[in-house]
Structure 1
Amino acid sequence: MVAQELDYFRAIIQANMEPLAKVTEVSAMAALSEQLGNQVWLKREDQQPVYSFKLRGAFNKLRQLPQGSKVITASAGNHAQGVALSAAHLGHQATIVMPVTTPEIKVNAVRKLGGEVVLFGHHFDAANAHALSLAEETGAVFVPPFDDKDVIIGQGTIARELMQQLDELDAVFIPVGGGGLLAGMAVYIKSLRPDIQIIGVEAQDSACLKAALDAGHPVELSSVGSFADGVAVKLIGKETFRLAQKFCDEVVTVTADEICAAVQDIFVATRAIAEPSGALSTAGLKKWCRENQVRGLNLAAVLSGANLNFDRLRYIAERTALGAKNEALLGVTIKEEKGSFKRFCQALGGRSITEFNYRYAGEGDAQIFVGVGLRNGQIELEQLKSGLVQDGYHFEDLSDNELAKLHIRYMVGGKPPVALQERLLRFEFPEYPGALARFLEMLGSNWNITLFHYRNHGAAQGNVLAGFDIAPQQYEEFDAHLARLGYQYQDETDNPCFRQYLQTPQSLARKAG
């Protein structure tokens, strides 16, 4: 081990987290262990006073400073609460810059812990730049959320506890955002037990570590997903990447649905409700076991946090069955005639129907949107699809279609009575009071909106599906307008869901012509 890593190892051994940070429990996940054929353990960082591991890094950083120091940071959540509580305990003055999109529950939590909140900008990057500017103006010490030696050391104390709590370990699964938790835990574990595999887990739409490892250096992602907001980081830290590159054996990426299924697994085992980023490593553990077909191993995952807005549970519950492969979504064509519903239900072979959407749209064929319960995951889904083919049904498997899951399942049954030259776009924008009105104002009124669907499910980002009646000769002007708006969007005009449920046959014919 080189001197630099040895310094980390010694500092983690000596780091005193008392009395602020707790020694958290390790919980056995009995049901998941039986399901996977491996012994699965969960390191419970949700038990910290701020319900997140972030307290450790913040506390270790701030305890190095003279009492009465001024500190400042930028954060929309867990790091903010960790800094605020640590500063109050140590006698420092803390200022936390938070985006104006931050949910009120998190803003109030920081204020209750004694931090002064400054709301600035509509996203983290703007808030962070403002915090750095304020630190320079006031002489306050800036507290980085992850790319800092003292912060990394604080997070590494989780590994110190874990190694004392579990005698046998084959692999440890660690969530990755900016990389501070992975770096701290990996350098400690590999210093003691190089044989233990260190596996980083990232959200599929925020995989900055995987991108950096592929490139050989940190790479800034063009955009990141908003569901697992605790790990929604565009660029991994320089020091955290250096340590990850040296000590991380593998990176697993998981989808939002897989994270939702892991939230349920954690609840079943502990009755704790993890935030999406908190369930990330459990989702990665499950995926790694399935893909590698391993059994008989001792595996640990870190439940990194449980700061969840209650209204997000609705969204998580909706997606859990899909993530666990206990439900499939199908778009099926049936005959518009008496008895066709009954025949289709019989074709499902007694499987439970979780959702059934239909609206009369004229003679001929009918399009239905149906959810089907599954007991045996992907194997049963393939059997179901094979049976439907044999029975002569035409269908689309929409289980992995984001447009279907976010919007179409709530909109089935509406097609315009006249032919339209429609383009369908799915937008994402920062969510805050008045955000939808601002979005509409910026969108303008130069084009006729033919379809609009919006749902607020407690996330930091709002989702809108919008249709526009636009002639092909206007595409260039329209696309230039979208580019000026600056919103992230996905063109869904060619999505099979749109054609099946929302677009008239006449408009299809016009498009083809």
Structure 2
Amino acid sequence: MSARTTVTPADVRAAARALDGVAHRTPVMRSRQLDEMLGCEVHLKAENLQRTGAFKLRGAYWALSRLPAGTPVVAYSAGNHAQAVALAAREQGRTAIIVMPADAPRAKREATAGYGAQVVLYDRYTESREEIAAALASEHGGTLIPPFDHPDIVAGQGTAALELFEEAGQLDALFVPCGGGGLLGGSLLAAAELAPGCAVLGVEPEAGDDVQRSLATGTRVLIDVPRTIADGAQTRQVGAIPFPLIQEHCAGIRTVSDAQLAEAMALLATRLKTVVEPTGALGLAGLRAEPGAWSGRRVGVILSGGNVDLDVFARLVGGAAAAA
């Protein structure tokens, strides 16, 4: 982990300047039907349309760009950070070794290897990815770039919310998917500068409610690997760097079930014709779980990614549609 542990809105601005022309400025999607269904004005930041299919490129590229030229990198990830580091390393002329769970979506594993990274598989339920990655970094002389617990990662991820506020203007609430807290921490920094009156809420799967528990106890709670379809949020503990930001600025953490995630995916597929992975649908699922709470208000939602195997997507969306 980086020795520097503080992140500021100025860091998010610096990352945004560096990412100009590198990361896509993804669209903010609107739907009259969705507004009518939810009773509020919804602004969806479509990071599922980002390069590599998720917001993770923002933090990975910014973090790698601040390393000395040619420094090899090592990362661990369920897939989206893996792809982001692999692509950023390729574009910056670096070698990359990525530790990924053996049960990660096939599309994510293949894309990571396709960007030129060496992929090392492990069992997420019996092995420690942190220990494996640390050993590889030591063996190969590489710099470890964690998926969320790094100041440059947090700053880079915050540029997604920064762009949303710049385009949509003032929002009353912002719902953000939450795993390790990097995206949520960065979004809180963006809101602090551009929309201080906005209530920023994190959304995590019911099975992985470590952030909610951590806020309740005031200390970072460690849990077992969550059993959830939201593979990008199967984290065991919120990051040490984003946690103080969440404690200070977050308006609350919501949890949703796997069934609610599948319903949100189906809604996005049918109403907006867009593919979003389970983790990417956390924000919308969280908003839908609070009917009437934001009636008549302007609400932002970050759709954090769209990397999902098509057979899994068809099964989840088809099942949710049938149930509806």
For Structure 1 versus Structure 2, the TM-score category normalised by the shorter chain is: over 0.9
Matched residue, 1:91 = 93
Residues 282 and 122 (structure 1), Cα distance of their counterparts in 2 relative to 1, 3 Å cut:
closer
Matched residue, 2:171 = 169
**Counterpart residue type for residue 197 of structure 2:** D
Q: Does 1:179 align with 2:154?
A: no
CA shift for structure 1 position 124: 8.3
Query: Contact conserved, 1:257 with 1:322, CA < 8 A, in 2?
Result: no
Q: Equivalents in 2 of 1:103, 1:200: separation in Å?
A: 24
Q: Equivalents in 2 of 1:51, 1:101: separation in Å?
A: 19
Q: Equivalents in 1 of 2:317, 2:120: separation in Å?
A: 33
CA shift for structure 1 position 320: 1.5
* Moved beyond 4 Å, runs of 4+: 122-125
Matched residue, 2:283 = 281
Deviation digits for residues 74-104 of structure 1, max 9, x if unmatched? Answer: 1121010000000001111111122233344
Q: Equivalents in 1 of 2:54, 2:92: separation in Å?
A: 19
**Larger RCO, structures 1/2 (Cα 8 Å, 6+ apart):** 2
Bigger strand share: 1
Deviation digits for residues 410-445 of structure 1, max 9, x if unmatched? Answer: xxxxxxxxxxxxxxxxxxxxxxxxxxxxxxxxxxxx
Q: Please tell me whether Structure 1 or Structure 2 has the larger radius of gyration of its CA atoms.
A: 1
Q: Equivalents in 2 of 1:197, 1:122: separation in Å?
A: 34
Query: Contact conserved, 2:83 with 2:112, CA < 8 A, in 1?
Result: yes
Matched residue, 2:63 = 61
CA shift for structure 1 position 311: 1.2
CA shift for structure 1 position 223: 4.1
Q: Equivalents in 1 of 2:216, 2:63: separation in Å?
A: 31
Residues 235 and 122 (structure 1), Cα distance of their counterparts in 2 relative to 1, 3 Å cut:
closer
Q: How many matched pairs? A: 318
Q: Equivalents in 1 of 2:26, 2:126: separation in Å?
A: 29
Query: Contact conserved, 1:28 with 1:269, CA < 8 A, in 2?
Result: no
Q: Does 1:9 align with 2:9?
A: yes
Alignment of 1:131-210 (within 5 A): 131-210=133-212
Alignment of 1:207-286 (within 5 A): 207-286=209-288
SS for the counterpart of 1:222 is coil
Same amino acid, percent of matched pairs: 35
Matched residue, 1:297 = 297
Long gaps (5+) in structure 1? 327-513
Matched residue, 1:427 = none
Deviation digits for residues 275-312 of structure 1, max 9, x if unmatched? Answer: 0001110010111234x3x3110001001000011111
Query: Contact conserved, 2:177 with 2:184, CA < 8 A, in 1?
Result: yes
Deviation digits for residues 448-501 of structure 1, max 9, x if unmatched? Answer: xxxxxxxxxxxxxxxxxxxxxxxxxxxxxxxxxxxxxxxxxxxxxxxxxxxxxx
Residues 52 and 124 (structure 1), Cα distance of their counterparts in 2 relative to 1, 3 Å cut:
farther
Alignment of 1:436-475 (within 5 A): none
SS for the counterpart of 1:50 is helix
Matched residue, 1:110 = 112
Q: Equivalents in 1 of 2:174, 2:102: separation in Å?
A: 36
**Counterpart residue type for residue 220 of structure 1:** L
Q: Equivalents in 1 of 2:265, 2:225: separation in Å?
A: 25
Query: Contact conserved, 1:227 with 1:276, CA < 8 A, in 2?
Result: yes
Q: Equivalents in 2 of 1:189, 1:278: separation in Å?
A: 20
Q: Equivalents in 2 of 1:244, 1:121: separation in Å?
A: 30
**Counterpart residue type for residue 158 of structure 2:** G
Q: Equivalents in 2 of 1:277, 1:263: separation in Å?
A: 10
Q: Equivalents in 2 of 1:322, 1:243: separation in Å?
A: 40
SS for the counterpart of 2:174 is strand
**Counterpart residue type for residue 10 of structure 1:** A
Is 82-91 or 24-33 further displaced after alignment?
Answer: 24-33
CA shift for structure 1 position 222: 3.1
SS for the counterpart of 2:275 is coil
Query: Contact conserved, 1:203 with 1:254, CA < 8 A, in 2?
Result: yes
When normalised by structure 2's length, the TM-score is 0.93
Q: Does 1:50 align with 2:52?
A: yes
